[in-house]
Amino acid sequence: MTEDRSALRVESIAVSAGRPAASPDGPLNLPITPASALHAGGDSGYARDGQPPWAALEATIGALEGGHAVVFSSGMAAAQAALTLIGPAARIVAPAVAYMDVRRSLMRQDETGPRSVTFVDVADTQAVLDACEQADALWLESPTNPLLEVADLPRLCTAARERGIFCVVDNTMATPLLQQPLLLGADLVVHSATKAMGGHSDLLLGAVAASAAGSVARLHEARELYGATPGALEVFLCLRGLRTLPLRMQCAQSNAMALAERLVGHRDALEVRYPGLRSHPDHQRAASTMSGFGTLLTVRVAGGAARADAVVDAVQLIAHATSFGAVESTLERRARYPAERDVPDDLLRISVGCEHVDDLWDDLTRALDATRGASGRSCMNGPTSTCCTS
Ligand SMILES: *Cc1c(COP(=O)(O)O)cnc(C)c1O
């Protein structure tokens, strides 16, 4: 499972990496293996310290990122493991807008010390570089969740490397199919594999990838010492999900682009954000630094928070749910979380999946039509919902 796959293209890596060696009548896939005690004499010896199904998933994620991956029980566990590689009193530069629980975790570190965290607008390259003058570590996320700002990763990763600043990139939203930060000079790449990698809304899992052997060893140690180990079923499902990541990405991205373009012309869409739209402030940067524009878009709907809440209750095909990157399209009003303080009240984040784009469009426009005038209370659920105005 450590064979060199560098000659293969991503679609082939996703399908073929991490397979067991061929043996007559042996399965093509590693089975689900519930295990704690392992027979002595191997490299691991105990299930918390590593096991073959984890290694298969790690080989696949590592090959896609161009490094070596270590898997964890969730994306947050992966982020915490990445933080253990940053010095105890480090000055960290981080995005002002980022996945809310990562940001909350960084804010907590800043409050409690001795680490300090400076929050910057990651789309403002000069502001990030200026903040890096006084920094030991740079934490990046791009595109950012949920505002879809795009950072200049090639420039920022190079600058961090030149200045000896430890650079971590949360690559959850883009996935290694759209950008490979390790190849740009980042020290670590963090993933919530819960999202697009798993891709079916049925597991929690995380991963950190690194190039340097020393970093990989410390990530293994972090998993051994803190015990954020992935479950057997989750590992199996995630590897299965990864097999179709390129295919799902292709479909969902083209659906997202089409929905974004159609929404721009819709009377109830106050502002549509998708990195693939020319109107997106970072469109040129996304076009030149990423090989696709991703599967998320946001729309601010006319009528404020109440209307937005009515829309999420009125959709039927699209699920009202958090998370993203799955075959199922989902949407939510992001400002419903108190932690999303920078997000407009009326902003819906839509994670576009692999349904037919016309069905998604019909669902969304029906929900917008059914809720026109809703500005007071939310609608009732269901197809016959009547909306209340106040
Ligand atoms: C969801 C998410 C995480 C956290 O991952 P979990 O698997 O939910 O723990 C971290 N970063 C980003 C960008 C995310 O979207």
DSSP per residue, 156-190: HHHHHHHHT-EEEEE-TTTHHHH--HHHHT-SEEE
Asked whether the predicted pLDDT for residue 384 surpasses 90, the reply is: no
What is the CA(259)–ligand 1 centre distance, in A?
A: 24
> Residue holding tokens 């899992």?
205
Q: How far is Cα of residue 307 from the mean position of the Cα atoms in its chain?
A: 28
Identify whether the C-beta of residue 17 lies closer than 8 Å to the C-beta of residue 9: no
Q: Which helix (H) or strand (E) holds 53?
A: helix 52-65
Q: What is the pTM of this model?
A: 0.94
At CA 172, angle to CA 166 and CA 177, rounded to 5? Answer: 100
Strand 91-95 vs strand 116-120: parallel, antiparallel, or unpaired?
parallel
- Closest by CA position to 233, among listed 31, 46, 39: 31
**Which three-class secondary structure state does DSSP give residue 275?**
coil
**How far is it, in rounded angstroms, from Cα 95 to Cα 104?**
11
Residue range 112-141: mean pLDDT, rounded: 98
- Percent of the chain beyond pLDDT 70? 94
- Closest by CA position to 334, among listed 357, 324, 174, 140: 324
**Which three-class secondary structure state does DSSP give residue 37?**
strand
Asked whether the predicted pLDDT for residue 196 surpasses 70, the reply is: yes
pLDDT in tens, 52-69: 999 999 999 999 999 999
What is the CA(173)–ligand 1 centre distance, in A?
A: 9
Residue range 162-177: mean pLDDT, rounded: 98
CATH number, domain 10-243, options 3.40.190.100, 3.40.640.10, 3.30.230.70, 2.60.120.1310:
3.40.640.10
Asked whether the predicted pLDDT for residue 314 surpasses 60, the reply is: yes
Token digits for 266?
């819709």
**pLDDT value of position 364:** 98
**Residue 183 confidence class, pLDDT cut points 50, 70, 90:** very high
Element counts in the chain: helices (H) and strands (E) = 14, 12
**pLDDT value of position 4:** 61
Q: Where are the domains of the chain?
A: 10-243, 245-370
What is the CA(27)–ligand 1 centre distance, in A?
A: 32
**pLDDT value of position 385:** 34
Q: Which ligand 1 atom is nearest residue 98's CA?
A: 13
**How far is it, in rounded angstroms, from Cα 312 to Cα 301?**
11
**pLDDT value of position 342:** 87
**pLDDT value of position 377:** 43
The CATH number of the structural domain formed by 245-370 is: 3.90.1150.10
Amino acid at 333: R
**pLDDT value of position 389:** 31
Q: Which residues are catalytic?
A: 48, 99, 170, 195
Nearest protein CA to atom 4 of ligand 1, as residue = 75
What is the CA(171)–ligand 1 centre distance, in A?
A: 10
Asked whether the predicted pLDDT for residue 383 surpasses 70, the reply is: no
**Residue 1 confidence class, pLDDT cut points 50, 70, 90:** very low
Burial class (CB in 10 A: 0-12, 13-18, 19+), 365: middle
Handedness of CA 236, 99, 307, 355 (dihedral sign): negative
Q: Which residues line ligand 1 (CB under 6 A)?
A: 74-76, 79, 99, 102, 141, 145, 170, 172-173, 192, 194-195, 204, 206
pLDDT in tens, 328-357: 999 999 999 999 988 999 999 999 999 999
Burial class (CB in 10 A: 0-12, 13-18, 19+), 8: middle
DSSP labels for 319-365?
EE-S---SSS-EEEEGGGSTT-TTS-TTEEEEE--SS-HHHHHHHHH
pLDDT in tens, 236-245: 999 999 999 9
**Mutational test site, ligand 1, from 76, 103, 150, 337, max ligand atoms within 8 Å of CB:** 76
Q: Which ligand 1 atom is nearest residue 145's CA?
A: 13
Asked whether the predicted pLDDT for residue 143 surpasses 80, the reply is: yes
